[in-house]
Structure 1
Amino acid sequence: MITVERLVCRYGDVLAVDDVSFTAEPGRVTGFLGPNGAGKSTTLRAVIGLTRPASGATRVNGVPYAALASPGRHVGVLLDAAAQHVGRSGRETLVLAAILLGVGRARVDAVLETVGLTEREAARRVGTYSLGMRQRLGLAVALLGEPEILVLDEPANGLDPAGIRWMRDLLARFAADGGTVLLSSHQLAEVQRVADDLVVIGGGRIVAQGAKDDLLAGSQDLEELFLQLTAPDSRDGIVA
């Protein structure tokens, strides 16, 4: 479970996240929706301890992320698929991560199969990968420690339609097995296909949240709200 309570984050004079509260429950996919610059990435970074909040708190399974023993065994994280060492092969990336996590190298083969990277592709340098392949590798790293929670920022970027369907199915199975998924995206149509719950953020504040079916019962209002949030003047002064 992920709990965010009255989170406030600032970058200098810029208020990036303003009094944000929500919960991502086990056994469910929580879609964290909003336009670029709405505060999604900042919130996720606060959840995993990369951004220090001005006030409020985030907890993973009831404790701050930093208090977890071997966090990667509990929380799999994919924030930026492009931020990978371009000189290493995909397999080398995973082997190094396995060593740091203290998991057996058999997990490397297992996650490569899970994300659909072949032996030949795993042997290539990451610098030669497409964005879609980097997303698959990033997800493999996130799954390596067999976590019960996934925190994913725009994981479908760069995936073709078949890859998006694959990602959707993988996350649905993860949640069906009791896992918690917090998935950020700026694409309402795609997230509503996989999410059980929706949290919509705009201008650093939560503007709607609840079970997907309840929110989509008034789908026209939700779509209109999302269109308003994506209007250029609605993002002035807001950061990721």
Structure 2
Amino acid sequence: MKIAVIGGTGLIGSQVVEMLRAGGHQAVPYSLSNGVDLLTGEGLNEALEGADVVVNLTNSPTFDDASAAFFRTSMDNLVAAADRAGVGHAVILSIVGADQVPDLAYYRAKVLQEDILKAGPVPYSIVRATQFFEFMDAVLSWTADENTVRLPATPVQPMAAADVARAVSDVSVGSPLHGTRNVAGPEVFPLDELGRITLAAQDDHRTVVTDAGAGMFAAVPGKALIAEEDAVIAPTDYRKWLERQPRSAD
């Protein structure tokens, strides 16, 4: 099976390509670095020629209102090119609970991305994943100073990027879902507690202060980011994952 992976050199995309190739598929990574630009359409027709499946793992460069324009243009171009090429299955990666967080521009933009794919002529699958373990350092940095990190107690159910990539790979080689598969980590944490666990594992002695108004996740209502009962639960435990991460030099 020939699978075009747009955004195939990023955190998830590079692992998806590796997994698909290990499964005997012809997975080809595409990105700006090899001439494929979803915003302009450049190189897209060539990339999808002869492809059975296209996986779109590109992401908006910002999380603000501009993200909607990115996803609208990129998805319009992708769906049109996939239809022209006769691609039989289009797959995108989205976020568990994206439609439950209307106050976040980026989450609204991800729902727009989903809706464009659903409304198009190409058979499709949507993989919705929870927050990645690998992004926790960035989350901490948003509201940190030299002594403290301020985080809300928003419930989250994070998962490893490798488990996300496996979920995307599995869906990509199956029949189109014409719907959504939710995937999530094995544990639910309040975000402030997840911050404390992370800092302790890194021997970082800053204090986590619980602040209901701090950072992007303050806008998340209730348990919006927690997966429903039908979700596929990934195997990787956060504390064990942390133990395997290299420590930065002092």
TM-score normalised by the chain length of structure 1: 0.34
Tell me: higher relative CO, structure 1 or 2? Use CA pairs within 8 A at least 6 residues apart.
Answer: 1
Bigger radius of gyration, 1 or 2? 2
